Amino acid sequence: MLDALGARVLRIDPASGPGTDVTDLEGRYAQWFEELAADTVIVRPDFYVYAAVDASELAPRLRELAAQLSLEVRASSSPTTGLV
């Protein structure tokens, strides 16, 4: 599903390490996620936040986005397809 959306996944952690794409040295992202009451965001290419959700709600929101963009995504597609 991520490939169909042309999406990129970035993992943000307070310390760099394996699997970390962005290091949140000053805790600004952690504070932002706390303010959003979410642990996952979908950000549009123009940097507007499309959705701020818990990870458990990600798949339905990605399907909703794909439908709004008129993309054809197989029902069995995992939202994490293409993650490394």
State the pLDDT at residue 72.
Answer: 65
More confident residue, 77 or 59: 59
Tell me which residue of 19, 50, 35 sits closest to 27, measured CA to CA: 35
pTM for the complete prediction? 0.74
Q: Is 82's pLDDT higher than 50? A: no
Mean pLDDT score across all residues of the chain: 85
Taking only the tens place, the pLDDT of each residue in 13-49 is 998 889 999 999 999 999 999 999 999 999 988 999 9
Query: How many other C-beta atoms are found inside a 10 Å radius of the C-beta of residue 48?
Result: 8
**Residues of the chain with pLDDT > 90: what percent?**
60
- Give me the residue label for tokens 């290419």: 45
Q: Is 6's pLDDT higher than 80? A: yes
Domain residue ranges in the chain: 2-68
